[in-house]
Amino acid sequence: MSSAEKYRALKGMRDVLPPDIYVWQKIEGIASGLFASYGFSEVRTPVAEATGLFTRGIGEGTDIVDKEMYTFEDKGGRSISLRPEGTASVVRSYIEHQLHTLPSPQKFYYAGPMFRYERPQSGRFRQFYQIGVEAFGSSSPALDAEVISMLRHFLQRLGLDQLVVQVNSIGCAACRPGYTGTLISFLGERQGELCPDCQRRHAQNPLRILDCKVPQCIALRQGAPKVMDHLCADCRQHMELLQHLLTGLEIPFVLNHEMVRGLDYYTRTVFEVTSGDLGAQNAVAAGGRYDRLVSECGGPDVPAFGFAVGMERITELVKKTLPAVHPAPSAFLALLGAQALYEGLRIADRLRTAGIWTETGDHTASLKSQMRKADRVAAAFVIIIGDDELAAGEFRWKKLADGTGGSAPFSALSSFFCGCS
């Protein structure tokens, strides 16, 4: 707590240690297994990219690129940024490696740290982890439905099956301008009464007015036209079929006409999964369709769909539902004396080779303190090795859970642990 000399993790960045790390590993294991069954392959992209990739992809005028990026100049004078999200990097990679020449759709997932310079709070960090998926090359709502279904199964496997998906469509290049026009004319003269942020949005990105939480803005948009009612025929069809498919897949969802998402690249489908058990930062997973991002980043005209889940937020929820795991050694070798140390290390070596988690005690310490240590690390069995045992060719053992014990020849040690580990 004291001295300013001590190093600590940077603000908003933290260590993931046991026992939490076991929760992380479990989540990642479930993700990779499940995603594989949907045909998604892992990709690993660099954590840093040219700044322009993010400003162009995510969009200037968004908070993320305007004030939250870790941007610096490298020694060659290039502007570099730590990725604030994963999609732009995967899109860059897709274009750079001409993956559109492979059969569509191409489906990828990634897991890793993202960086945003924000004020930390519950569920929000400057370095945070996302597991994300991106699928390229299909504009069919079937893709939207399958990917959302995959997310749903992922959450279910983690015991988070009561979470509801919120869905909306924000239209496309053909119909969105028309809608924002009617939204603006609906507000009309009263736009001056909007909050300062919305005054700015009014000009830059009128859609964002829809999810402003300032009371006067909520009041002003009462009865405002809904995006969903102003979609072009294609977008409307897309949305209708998506809802039909989601229903068929038995995915509980609600339409949220005011959800628009904070990134510029979305088209048509946007969705979000939130939790009531988290605090203010309650979005657990979110994503949508981005049919123009690939071409806007210099690639071919390829539609895509994706989402990201926030690891820190997921782990918080998972920790509430699943019991904590405390991995413990199967064998603890209590060693008494120098000869026991010599033989004990050879024995530990054999057990470990057989895949049995084995710990060894301090051969100079008393048996009592070694027993105590074995208990503290919750070892299943203590194997006692001292001069007596070596002379007799038999080890003594004790099962800590019930205090039972006995002895057995050293030659039977490995088989002793079969089925116990």
Partner RNA sequence: GUGAGUGUAGUUCAAUGGUUAGAGCACUGGAUUGUGGUUCCAGUUGUUGGGGGUUCGAGUCCCCUCACUCACCCCA
| Contact positions vs RNA (CB under 7 A) | 1-4, 8, 11, 62-64, 68, 85, 116, 118-125, 128, 130, 197, 208, 211-214, 261-263, 272, 279-286, 308-310, 312-313, 336, 365-369, 371-376, 382, 384, 386-389, 396, 398, 400-403, 405
Q: How far is the CB of 187 from RNA (least distance, A)?
A: 17
Nearer to RNA, 104 or 199 (CB): 199
CB 142 within 8 A of CB 245: yes
CA angle centred on 412, ends 410 and 418, rounded to 5°: 130
Nearer to RNA, 275 or 358 (CB): 275
CB 147 within 8 A of CB 307: yes
Nearer to RNA, 87 or 358 (CB): 87
Q: How far is the CB of 76 from RNA (least distance, A)?
A: 28
Nearer to RNA, 143 or 263 (CB): 263
Length of the chain: 421
User: Which residues in 234-371 belong to E strands, given as ranges?
Assistant: 253-255, 269-274, 283-289, 304-310, 331-335, 358-360
Q: What is the 3-state secondary structure (H, E, C) of 188-212?
A: HHHHHHCCHHHHHHHHHCHHHHHHC
Nearer to RNA, 243 or 282 (CB): 282
Q: Which two tokens stand for residue 107?
A: 């489906």
Q: How far is the CB of 173 from RNA (least distance, A)?
A: 20
In angstroms, the CA 286 to CA 84 distance is 15
Neighbouring-strand partners of residue 407: 396
In angstroms, the CA 305 to CA 378 distance is 47
Q: How far is the CB of 59 from RNA (least distance, A)?
A: 9
Residues 6+ apart with CB under 8 A from 8: none
Nearer to RNA, 403 or 419 (CB): 403
Residue type, 328: A
Nearer to RNA, 232 or 283 (CB): 283
Q: How far is the CB of 234 from RNA (least distance, A)?
A: 25
DSSP state of 80: E
The answer to whether the bond into 105 is cis (omega within 30° of 0) is yes
Q: Is 169 exposed, middle or buried (0-12, 13-18, 19+ CB in 10 A)?
A: buried
Which secondary-structure segment (H or E) carries 290? none
In angstroms, the CA 228 to CA 249 distance is 22
Q: Is 225 exposed, middle or buried (0-12, 13-18, 19+ CB in 10 A)?
A: middle
CA angle centred on 91, ends 88 and 97, rounded to 5°: 140
Q: How far is the CB of 72 from RNA (least distance, A)?
A: 16
Nearer to RNA, 146 or 211 (CB): 211
Nearer to RNA, 242 or 374 (CB): 374
Q: How far is the CB of 75 from RNA (least distance, A)?
A: 26
Q: How far is the CB of 314 from RNA (least distance, A)?
A: 8
Q: How far is the CB of 287 from RNA (least distance, A)?
A: 7
Instruction: Give the pairing type, strands 253-255 and 79-82.
Output: unpaired
Which segments of 221-327 does DSSP mark as H helices, in order? Answer: 233-248, 293-296, 311-321
CA angle centred on 122, ends 205 and 56, rounded to 5°: 30
Q: How far is the CB of 102 from RNA (least distance, A)?
A: 27
Nearer to RNA, 185 or 369 (CB): 369
